[in-house]
Structure 1
Amino acid sequence: MRLLITNDDGINAKGIYALAKELEKYHEVIIVAPDNERSACGHSITLSRPLIVRKVALEGLKSIAFSVDGTPADCVKIAINKLIDGKIDMVISGINKGLNLGTDVLYSGTVSAAIEASIYKVPSMAISMQVNKKIENYEMASKYAGEILLMAKKNNVKNDMVLNVNVPLLKGNEIKGIKVCKIGSRLYNNCYIETIGENGETQYEIKGELKDVHEEDSDTLYFKEGYVTVTPLHYDLTNFNILNDVSKWF
């Protein structure tokens, strides 16, 4: 397969290196990723200035790579429209440093890059790995990315499908399997810490504690139980459950 790989942690992140290293064993891989970290940038794109694109060599990888001084969505747009000739079979975004479970997909640059691909009718996967302060290991997530990619190909994945994948920080024999499920809810008890800057300006830094809502058949629940979670996403945010009700208002 011919794969486009991107991320939101930046082109020099450990996660994208591990992903490309694994997938280029079996596929043609082209990397187009932000030049720096763009975490939690959502689906933003750059309109106010030109994008700077540089061809780069990533030591230890044979894949062609480009850095872009923009967002993950920028990377996918410019890759498809300008940098890559011919068909792309699938876009894979990641491996993200940290999870993209539940409603966090709305903030995620990793997921937004995958969604941008689906807008262009290219199937995609966003893959994220649980990390902690002492352990940042992407080998397990790389293997699951390869496995899920092959299953998607075997089952003729639709061209507008996004697969959101989250891998727990467990050993291979500790992972219970793969669960296909809906997204759950992640709530944050947000607060803003006020400080005074060097020039006397007031600054606010967001802090907060996470609380997952473990709904039945949700990714937050199955992830907690030790499964790799896979959630099919789509960019159509229409709430079909109330579409007819709201139409009656008018």
Structure 2
Amino acid sequence: MAPIRVLLTNDDGPPSRDSPFILGLFVYLCTRGSALNPVVLPSSQKSWIGKAYHIKEKIYGRYYYPLILHSDARSEVSDASRPLKEGELGEWILLDATPATCANIAIHNIFPGEIDLVISGPNFGRNTSSAFVLSSGTVGAAMSSSLSLIRSIALSYGVFTRHFPTDYVQPSHELSLKIIGKLWNQWGKDPSGLRNGEVDLYNVNIPLVPEILREGGMEVAWTRIWRNSYTSLFQPQDSETSTMPAGPDARVVAKNSSSSQEQNQVVSAPDLAFKFSPQMSPLVDPPISSLPYGTDAWAVHHAKASVTPLRTSFAEPGSDSMVLVGESFDNSPSVGEAGRAFKL
């Protein structure tokens, strides 16, 4: 069987303090022997942008050469492709564009006919609940790919503190690839194309919590999206006010970090001006009792990884979207129900 040809993209941009996971997942994919691991990313963070495209702007790109993990040197960016230098892991592409735009250009213009699967992420922060999923650039890139009939998975690592233990990350990569492998096999039931099946894409959330180190691994659950809501996302702009960082865990980031570029950016406001300043507490820290059983938020807040089947339409797949190869509804009355264990 030929190796899967995987495209990586995200909404956090190239490796940085605000994009800490993309390089590690790339390295882990390479060690698993994938035939092709192209990476096409936004050149800067594009959180909370959903499935938006650039339609009037001319989109420019550059080549990016990531260095080995924990290198003190600075990765180089070039206007032209060049041979790799010692210590460089590959040639990535950065586009001045949204995540959905990056995915579409990668599939149709840069690597036409070469991509089997798109992994969007790992996002720095959870993408659970309708408030976050419908706003997420990570999910938006996966939706963009699935609309081009490319199997797609949105992957997010849920952080609950800004400074999470680094030993949580590698087990998260390992669990991600186990889940993705199962989902890829699941899609194998429908080799004729996505539109003949129930599922267009999957949204996977892995919380970075101590349970990721548990012997036997973190529990994984099939889930539905928690249908929550939000209030105002914007506040009137004062004459001199710092902008807020974006993303599902922005409140955690803002509380734990005072030196980010976004927080230190001071702007002058006219009379009619507003800044992105969502009320995050009800979204990030909802009462546990308010989370419906079997939802993505319920799973993450109970230290479980979450796998949510989705369609690129205003509809959810049926219950048989939560049945893996070899399972049947005759095995158990719970088969196909949200909250049931995803069997690795």
TM-score tier after normalising by the smaller chain length:
0.7 to 0.9
The total of aligned residue pairs comes to 241
Instruction: State yes or no: 1:73 paired with 2:104.
Output: no
C-alpha distance in 2 between matches for 1:239 and 1:146: 24
C-alpha spacing 1:191/1:54, structure 2 compared with 1 (3 Å): closer
The worse-fitting range, judged by mean Cα deviation, of 160-169 and 114-123 is: 160-169
The superposition leaves residues 98-147 of structure 1 with CA deviations (integer Å, 9 ceiling, x where unpaired) of: 11001011000000101111111111111111122222743233212211
C-alpha distance in 2 between matches for 1:195 and 1:9: 25
The superposition leaves residues 3-32 of structure 1 with CA deviations (integer Å, 9 ceiling, x where unpaired) of: 000000012222211211111112121000
1:166 to 201, 205, 211: 205
Q: What runs of 5+ residues in structure 2 fail to find an aligned partner?
A: 69-87, 195-199, 240-267, 318-344
Matched residue SS, 1:24: helix
> For residue 114 of structure 1, what is the aligned residue in structure 2?
142
The worse-fitting range, judged by mean Cα deviation, of 102-111 and 47-56 is: 47-56
Instruction: State yes or no: 1:217 paired with 2:304.
Output: no
C-alpha distance in 1 between matches for 2:181 and 2:67: 27
1:210 Cα offset (Å): 2.1
Contact 1:184 1:215 (C-alpha < 8 Å) held by counterparts: yes
> For residue 84 of structure 1, what is the aligned residue in structure 2?
111
- AA partner of residue 274 (structure 2): Y
The worse-fitting range, judged by mean Cα deviation, of 91-100 and 221-230 is: 221-230
Contact 2:222 2:307 (C-alpha < 8 Å) held by counterparts: yes
> For residue 49 of structure 1, what is the aligned residue in structure 2?
57
**Equivalent runs, 1:13-52 vs 2, <5 Å:** 13-26=19-32, 27=34, 28-52=36-60
C-alpha spacing 1:239/1:92, structure 2 compared with 1 (3 Å): closer
The superposition leaves residues 32-88 of structure 1 with CA deviations (integer Å, 9 ceiling, x where unpaired) of: 000000001011100111110112211126343100000000001100111114331
More strand by share: 1
> For residue 150 of structure 1, what is the aligned residue in structure 2?
181
TM-score norm. by structure 1 comes to 0.87
Matched residue SS, 2:176: helix
Q: What runs of 5+ residues in structure 1 fail to find an aligned partner?
A: 241-250
C-alpha distance in 2 between matches for 1:232 and 1:109: 17
Contact 1:95 1:141 (C-alpha < 8 Å) held by counterparts: no
1:100 to 115, 124, 127: 127
Contact 1:185 1:214 (C-alpha < 8 Å) held by counterparts: no
Contact 1:179 1:222 (C-alpha < 8 Å) held by counterparts: yes
Matched residue SS, 1:150: helix
**Equivalent runs, 1:184-195 vs 2, <5 Å:** 184-190=226-232, 192-195=234-237
| Identity %, equivalent residues | 25
> For residue 7 of structure 2, what is the aligned residue in structure 1?
4
1:222 Cα offset (Å): 1.7
> For residue 230 of structure 1, what is the aligned residue in structure 2?
307
1:134 to 142, 152, 163: 163
Q: How well do the aligned residues superpose, as a CA RMSD in angstroms?
A: 2.3
Contact 2:151 2:201 (C-alpha < 8 Å) held by counterparts: yes
TM-score norm. by structure 2 comes to 0.65
1:189 Cα offset (Å): 4.5
- AA partner of residue 169 (structure 1): L
